[in-house]
Amino acid sequence: MSGERILDVDQLTMRFGGIVAVQDLSFAAERRKITALIGPNGAGKTTVFNCITGFYKPTGGAIRLTHDDGREIALERLNDFRIAKQAKVARTFQNIRLFPGMTVLENLMVAQHNMLMRASGFTLLGLVGVPAYRDAEKRAIDLATDWLKRVSLLDRADDAAGNLAYGDQRRLEIARAMCTEPALLCLDEPAAGLNARESAALSELLLSIRNELGTSILLIEHDMSVVMEISDHIVVMDHGVKIAQGTPREVRDDPKVIAAYLGADEEEAMAVMESGS
């Protein structure tokens, strides 16, 4: 790891009563890079996300976000909505959380709430319909339209989000997160439930977000084809601790990782690998 860091997780620990979901976890995510967080089921990946985005208060440790201008924010001290609003961290959920009874476009408008609130003079100016607010709303619709094009949902803009197919809902959730114009985008298993073609499209979308917009991405994913193809750096967790990290190549060949995934111990995994090569 040499580049500029956007996120530093330092000795993060999260306990639920007797369960230690995450223990002394330290890793970093680089700016304008895709960092993947992988590990078997129950490894504690979603818990790490919930700590970063403020849905859980960590039992211990520090999470530091560094903005472009050098401003540092201690995420473990902020509330969930402040992390999204001030620290500019956006996230998606493992079980999609859209606003199903609102249209696709409305979902993307809600994402621009804080910008529109300011433009509407905290509702009072908007109520009388000042031109400045109408301009802001138009810009918001333009941004939403732009994202609908990127995730190829433009023709579904006026449909209820709950009526979209599963894969479309996943992409809409990413578009909604991006409409908050985040510095760091956290995606919890975006490829879950997608078919091969949709997964490939997703990889392309994430690469374009990184390359064209320069947004840093933190990615939890079980689909190894996606992870290996697009990640710049991979952190592997098992039972709440980090067991390996490195480039896709390094991680793929790490016996500890293979052991964790196969549920076997290290020697066995080594044996499997050696016999394979």
Ligand X SMILES: Nc1ncnc2c1ncn2[C@@H]1O[C@H](COP(=O)(O)OP(=O)(O)OP(=O)(O)O)[C@@H](O)[C@H]1O
Find which of Mg ion, ligand X, another protein, none residue 138 binds, CB within 5 to 8 Å per kind: none
- Please report how close the Cβ of residue 47 comes to ligand X at its closest, in angstroms: 3
Site membership for Mg ion, residue 50 (CB under 5 A): no
Q: Which is nearer to ligand X, 22 or 185 (CB)?
A: 22
DSSP codes joined into one string, 70-125: S-EEEGGGS-HHHHHHTS-EEE--SS----TTSBHHHHHHHHTHHHHHHHTTTTHH
Residue whose entry in the numeric block shows the structure tokens 């621009």: 112
Site membership for another protein, residue 98 (CB under 8 A): yes
Site membership for Mg ion, residue 199 (CB under 5 A): no
* Residue 235 three-state SS: strand
**Residues near ligand X, by CB under 6 A:** 16, 19, 21, 39, 41-47, 94
Residue 5 corresponds to which tokens in the numbers above? Answer: 């860091």
Site membership for Mg ion, residue 46 (CB under 5 A): yes
Handedness of CA 115, 120, 124, 125 (dihedral sign): positive
- Please report how close the Cβ of residue 129 comes to ligand X at its closest, in angstroms: 45
Find which of ligand X, Mg ion, another protein, none residue 42 binds, CB within 5 to 8 Å per kind: ligand X
- Please report how close the Cβ of residue 63 comes to ligand X at its closest, in angstroms: 15
Site membership for another protein, residue 162 (CB under 8 A): yes
Site membership for another protein, residue 153 (CB under 8 A): no
- Please report how close the Cβ of residue 103 comes to another protein at its closest, in angstroms: 5
User: What is each CA distance from 196 to 152, 186, 200, in whole angstroms?
Assistant: 17, 22, 6
Residue whose entry in the numeric block shows the structure tokens 């193809």: 229
Site membership for another protein, residue 229 (CB under 8 A): no
Distance CA 5, CA 173 (A): 26
Contact at 8 Å (CB) between 6 and 205? no
Q: Which is nearer to ligand X, 120 or 223 (CB)?
A: 223
* Residue 186 three-state SS: strand
Distance CA 10, CA 22 (A): 12
SS3 content of the chain, % helix, strand, coil (to 5): 45, 25, 30
- Please report how close the Cβ of residue 93 comes to Mg ion at its closest, in angstroms: 9
Distance CA 26, CA 51 (A): 13
Find which of another protein, Mg ion, ligand X, none residue 216 binds, CB within 5 to 8 Å per kind: none
Q: Judged by CB under 8 A, which stretch of 23-31, 121-129, 203-211, 223-231 contacts another protein? A: 121-129
* Interacting residue ranges for Mg ion, rule: CB under 5 A: 46, 94
* Interacting residue ranges for another protein, rule: CB under 8 A: 53, 55, 80-85, 90-91, 93, 97-103, 105-106, 109-114, 116-117, 120, 123, 126-127, 137, 141, 145, 154, 157-160, 162-163, 176-177, 180
